[in-house]
A and B are shown apart, each in its own frame.
Chain A
Amino acid sequence: MYKIIRKEVLNSQVKLLEIEAPYIAKKAEPGQFIMLRVNEEGERIPLTIADYDREKGTVTIIFQEVGATTKILGSLNAGDSLLDFVGPLGKPTQLEGIKKAAVIGGGLGTAIAYPQAKKLSGIGSEVHVIAGFRNKDLIILEDRMSKVANKLVVTTDDGSNGTKGFVTDVLKKLLDEGNAYDAVIAIGPPVMMKAVCNLTKQYGIKTIVSLNPIMIDGTGMCGGCRVTVDGKIRFACVDGPDFDGHKVDFDELIRRLSMYKGYERKAEEHLCRLGGIANA
């Protein structure tokens, strides 16, 4: 069992859990993920590691309540335990040698982009962070990001926080102002990552994206997470989850993510009927 030692509600849909997992905390690096199972009947879901504390032996996950499992996860509190928690899986993001980077987070992706920004800051890189949200109520991690970023721009689609627009608008502005980035790291919904890649391709800037396809085991065994990169089949769990964004087939990724849409709704309804979701 893996004990939850801290819970934080970041916004109405997004929660943070800090979990006791000393073996994983010892090895974790930005870009890697864990697989978890809440209880005996639960499914296995992948979540990217949002933070880790090697000394305390904890790993932090941040998730949005979008399906049956994340809803149950969101209903747990400090002191509760997860049945299964395994990792760190996938390859760490290659950040060495990056002197100046733009780190872009879209919605929940901001949580996954945070450890990258933190690590880059730690190795002395200049870090510009662009974090985009639909509206001001959904903004997360602003204070934490501001501590590790040399420049932080938070945007909202509706302008409710002041800076209206998409992350790509801000990135374009920064690029046109003459910022020369060694790399852009874009993490968020596939549509956002695709838009960022379309932009950076024009500027010829290396762009790293973190993919989140459906997977079962996270160790290369099911092949459910296969993505097409540079025309070849790759497994996001072992070959990624980071890839060169300019070579990823995002349309295929988006399509594959929809594979169980109908089934997921059914499972969620079932759990609601059972009263399995305390906060639903």
Chain B
Amino acid sequence: MPNMSLKKVPMPEQNPEIRRQNFEEVALGYTEEMAVEEAQRCLNCKHRPCTSGCPVQVKIPEFITLTAQGKFEEAYNKIKETNSLPAVCGRVCPQESQCEQKCVRGIKGEPVAIGRLERFVADWAMKNLKKEPENSESNGKKVAVIGSGPAGLSCAGDLVKSGYDVTIFEAFHTAGGVLVYGIPEFRLPKKLVQKEIDGLLAQGVKIRTNMVIGKTLTVDELFDEGFSAVFIGSGAGLPAFMNIPGENLNGVYSANEYLTRINLMKAYKENAVTPIMRSKNVAVVGGGNVAMDAARSAIRLGAEKVYIVYRRSEKEMPARLEEIHHAKEEGIIFKLLTNPTRILGDDNGWVKGLECVQMELDEPDSSGRRSPVPKPGTEHILDVDTVIIAIGTSPNPLIRSTTKGLETDSRGCIVADENGKTSREGVFAGGDAVTGAATVILAMGAGKTAAKAIHEYIQSKNS
């Protein structure tokens, strides 16, 4: 008999008052009992709508059934059949717009907490399963993967399973891409990411850090080095600025810089060598997950007031519901329908305020969201000493500018078909490098799809 509770088993969380003073994980995870109880809410319905909402086709009803039976190891193996990074996805996927959105239980009441269950199973496996997966037999074919973020890791994971000799090239000194430089510790502990990466290394994937493709080596040189195919999963790392006066004042950051200092370079730790401003009042411009991450990091660094400045209303915010909810709990002040017009500086060139204007929503624009227009005469000043710009990122030009014949679009995104095939033979691409800034799970899905296409490509060349 299924558990007919209309509500999800609540997620244990750190108290907002306490967690806004530390960088430890906010959501603490289900216990075994909670997981079984929640798993029993799944009706195991015949038409399995949830699976169609998953970009990596996790066998959701199967793993949940196994979880409900307390068979956690089997549940883990079931997830791992299609998802190489379950501990990550269980934490950062926007489930409310994917699997859980389709869940039948969501029609009346809350959907099954698929994300929380995935996280539970992955964490349980990390804690309790020691045996690393066996090395697949190598077929001797070399594939290069550029970038060690979600797209690259999932592509590498699938290719190594098929027997390829996979080398990941990472520009930074640490693998993980946005999972380590972008997403904060309190949302995705770095030791989990490292464990997932260690798992890939154990399967035989090689990672070469400090390799900037486009500079240290080019895509063409990778072929010269004997790689049969190249996957570009270099993400969207180039930060956008607003082009308003005052953006080069001291105290203005891109979210990329702010978060990289904190996450990758550990600037939040006492006595870290990499510095970060200890701000009094902070305005974060933008309404996505990155904006929430920056705002919540700022409050943890001791800021008194942290504002989210977003030009549309909350309904249009691209951030996950959970992140918005957590940010509010932690005291972040939401300035909605508000748009910055200029950043004000003091005599020494430091930020002393952010001038904003009120906005109202007009007709829907090309993105389907109602476009904001300024209300004249509503200019006002937020008293802040730090401004963080989190209005989006686009793909870095280093690869496209050094790879002849690689087609890109007007936004600098690599043009690839639905299988990740680019205009260059043997070159595949996926994730943010193709779509522009999107989600971890879409990038993982693209990495998987490309891995399949790469396998077919190499096979066809050898037959």
Q: Which residues of A contact B (CB under 8 A)?
A: 23-24, 27, 37, 41-44, 68-69, 83-89, 216-217, 219-224, 226-228, 233, 238, 252, 255-256, 258-260, 263-264, 267, 270-271
Contacts and interface: CB of A to CB of B under 8 A. Distances in A.
Contacts of B241: 223, 226, 233
Contacts of A223: 239, 241, 254, 256-257
Contacts of A259: 250-251, 277
Interface in B275-326: 275-277
Nearest to A267: B273
Interface of B: 171-173, 209-212, 215-217, 237-239, 241, 243, 247-248, 250-251, 253-254, 256-257, 260-261, 265, 271-277, 348-349, 396-398
Max chain B Cβ within 10 angstroms of own Cβ: one of A223, A228, A238, A252: A223
A37 B264 CA distance: 13
A42 B273 contact: yes
Nearest to A34: B210
A67 to B, nearest CB: 9
A24 B250 contact: no
A221 B248 contact: no
Contact of B171 (A68, A219, A256): A219
Contacts of B397: 220, 238
16 contacts: A23-B211, A24-B216, A44-B173, A84-B173, A87-B215, A89-B215, A221-B238, A221-B239, A222-B254, A223-B254, A224-B257, A226-B247, A233-B243, A238-B398, A263-B276, A267-B271
B216 A27 contact: yes
Contact of A217 (B172, B251, B275): B172
Contacts of B248: 226-228, 233, 252, 256
Q: Which applies to chain A's interface (DSSP): helix, strand, loop or mixed?
A: mixed
Given A68-B273, A222-B260, A256 B250 contact: yes
Name the residue among A226, A227, A233, A264 with the largest chain B CB count within 10 angstroms.
A226
Given A220-B396, A220-B398, A41 B257 contact: no
Given A87-B215, A221-B256, A222-B239, A216 B261 contact: yes
Given A86-B210, A221-B239, A216 B215 contact: no
Contacts of A264: 275
Contacts of A252: 248, 349
Contacts of A216: 257, 260-261, 265, 274
A222 B256 contact: yes
B210 A41 contact: no
A221 B237 contact: yes
A255 B276 CA distance: 16
Contact of A87 (B212, B239, B253, B348): B212
A219 B216 CA distance: 11
A89 B239 CA distance: 18
Contacts of A86: 171, 173, 210-212, 216
B26 to A, nearest CB: 25
Nearest to A274: B271
B217 A23 contact: yes
A163 B243 CA distance: 47
A221 B399 CA distance: 13
A88 B215 contact: yes
A24 B254 CA distance: 29
A25 to B, nearest CB: 11
Contacts of B260: 216-217, 221-222
A255 B349 contact: yes
A84 B264 CA distance: 14
Across the A-B interface, give the 8 residue pairs with the lowest CB-CB distance, nearest first: A263-B275, A222-B257, A86-B210, A223-B254, A221-B237, A84-B173, A43-B274, A260-B275
The winner among B210, B211, B273, B276 for most chain A CB atoms within 10 A is: B273
A238 B239 CA distance: 13
A219 B146 CA distance: 14
B237 A267 contact: no
Contacts of A24: 216
B301 to A, nearest CB: 12
Nearest to A273: B271
A221 B216 contact: no
B209 A84 contact: yes
A258 B350 CA distance: 11
Nearest to B271: A270
B349 A89 contact: no
Contacts of B250: 255-256, 258-259
Contacts of A233: 241, 243, 247-248
Given A37-B173, A226-B248, A256-B349, 13 more contacts: A86-B211, A89-B215, A216-B260, A216-B265, A216-B274, A219-B398, A221-B239, A222-B254, A226-B247, A255-B349, A258-B250, A259-B251, A264-B275
A251 to B, nearest CB: 8
Nearest to A39: B273
Contacts of A226: 241, 247-248
Contact of A27 (B215, B251, B275): B215
A119 to B, nearest CB: 19
A171 to B, nearest CB: 29
Contacts of A89: 212, 215
